Structure 1
Amino acid sequence: MARLYKPGPKQFVFTVGDGNDQQVSVGDPQEAYLAFSAFFRDRESDTYTIRDEPAGQSLVLMPRLGVISRIKDADQPRSEHLRVDRPNRYLPSAMLFFENGYAGLDRFGQWLCDLSDLDASPETRGAARAATITTEAAAIEEVARIWADSGIVDPSDQYYVFFDSHDVDDDRAERAELLQLIEFLGLERVDAPAEAAGGEVWVRSDPRLAAECARWS
């Protein structure tokens, strides 16, 4: 059974910039997701916005630009932006927003504060993202997030393998970020076996990495 909003019901506003806003009152995140899914699929637009006005938070989906933005206006205003390379990422981001708002998207991908950074090369985007992470706790959490998306532990339990079976042209932004965070954390990168895919990154097991990756498994 879906977790109910407390207090509820909760109100959201869906917009596409044509003045035909849709306000919904829903009892739980799944109900909100179903309402927005219908709204999203029934319209052709450059921009789809979900506003949680009482919380001062918004999610903006821009499929034609390949961008998702999240915005919060309360207390300390902040906006962050994410490059999206697959069309099936938009609705899952909405579900996370309905479940836990702005913070629900923390682990969804490589968020950048400057929208212009999204036009940079993947390697530059990755480096820019890594540069925003300044504590060991945040760095190890981000490394574990990257590992959980496409990584394995090798059969010997000695190495964590990132981007398992991926080509070197895949995941360029996240690989650049990962390599910078490996250096920041003092983790030991090792040479991948000759038979490994070109995009794989192998890192020797470390107690911090093992503990955080276990949380993501």
Structure 2
Amino acid sequence: MARPYRPGPKQFLFAAGDGDDRRVTVADAQEAYEAFSDFFRERSGAASFTVHDEPAGQRLVLVPARGLISRIAEAGPSRADHLHVGRAARCLTGAMLFFENGHTGLEHFGPWTTDPTDPTDPAGASPEARGAARAATFTTEAAAFGEVGRLWADSGFVDPTGRYHVFFDSRGADEDRAERATLLALIDFLGLERVEAPADAPTGEVHVRTEPRLEAECGRWA
């Protein structure tokens, strides 16, 4: 049986296959994320990155070039699950979720598969259908806002007036179709207000009127 994940101050080991591993002691998930982001940027050419929580018996492996995340449980019966995330930027999102709550924090980042070579998208489903199905897995406001914040962190900004949160910065309508469908469904679920984008904005951008709940959640990822 896997040992429970331990919140609070703890140690992580970061590795990128170059022999220059880094062990860090952090007070919370945000501090861990900032330390790993620095490690990640310093080794931007690395093929893979590993975050190891030795006491919990959990590892996270990121392969940015393949858009692949693997979570490996070492405690109890060993197990490896894999997730194709498409864009390399979402690897860092996966790292933040791992720092927040270990492998459990990554559950809604799925669906996961035991085969790292297979895309995880259901065969024959359109990106929009996959995105809507994913949105339906978020059944509480807290979980839905968490996913909205993560989507914004991948490719978002606050417009210069401070009135709108913009998602999918500079993206065309043919990009990020599944993620956009997830976002639009969650906007409806949460009662957020989508506003018309400026005429000169890229066709794939989504503009949402800022409100306190959205501002607080996105602020965690800024």
Interval of TM-score (by shorter of Structure 1 and Structure 2): 0.5 to 0.7
Question: Which digits, 9 at most, give the CA deviation of each residue in 1:113-169, with x for residues without a partner?
Answer: 343882334334323332221111121122122112221222332222111221112
User: How many residue pairs were aligned?
Assistant: 188
Pair 206,62 (structure 1): closer, same or farther in 2 beyond 3 Å = closer
Q: Distance in 1 between matches of 2:99 and 2:84?
A: 21
Segments of 5+ residues of structure 2 without an aligned counterpart are 1-8, 26-34
Offset at residue 194 of structure 1 (A): 1.6
CA RMSD across the alignment: 4.6
Pair 126,80 (structure 1): closer, same or farther in 2 beyond 3 Å = farther
Confirm or deny that 1:134 pairs with 2:139. yes
Pair 80,71 (structure 1): closer, same or farther in 2 beyond 3 Å = same
2:172 aligned counterpart, secondary structure: coil
Q: Distance in 1 between matches of 2:10 and 2:221?
A: 30
Offset at residue 53 of structure 1 (A): 6.5
Residues 117, 125 of structure 1: 8 Å contact kept: no
Tell which deviates more after alignment, 80-89 or 167-176: 80-89
In the TM superposition, 1:164-175 aligns within 5 A as: 164-175=169-180
Segments of 5+ residues of structure 1 without an aligned counterpart are 1-5, 15-24, 42-46
Q: Distance in 2 between matches of 1:85 and 1:213?
A: 22
2:142 aligned counterpart, secondary structure: helix
Offset at residue 85 of structure 1 (A): 3.0
Q: Which letter does structure 2 place at the counterpart of 1:172?
A: R
Q: Distance in 1 between matches of 2:138 and 2:84?
A: 18
Residues 58, 102 of structure 2: 8 Å contact kept: no
Percent identical: 51
In the TM superposition, 1:21-170 aligns within 5 A as: 27-28=23-24, 54-59=55-60, 66-72=67-73, 81-86=82-87, 96=95, 100=99, 103=102, 106=105, 111-115=109-113, 118-120=120-122, 121-170=126-175
Residues 132, 182 of structure 2: 8 Å contact kept: yes
TM-score scaled by length of structure 1: 0.61
1:167 aligned counterpart, secondary structure: coil
Pair 70,85 (structure 1): closer, same or farther in 2 beyond 3 Å = same
Residues 126, 176 of structure 1: 8 Å contact kept: yes
Q: Distance in 1 between matches of 2:149 and 2:65?
A: 30
**Equivalent residue, structure 2, for 1:21:** none
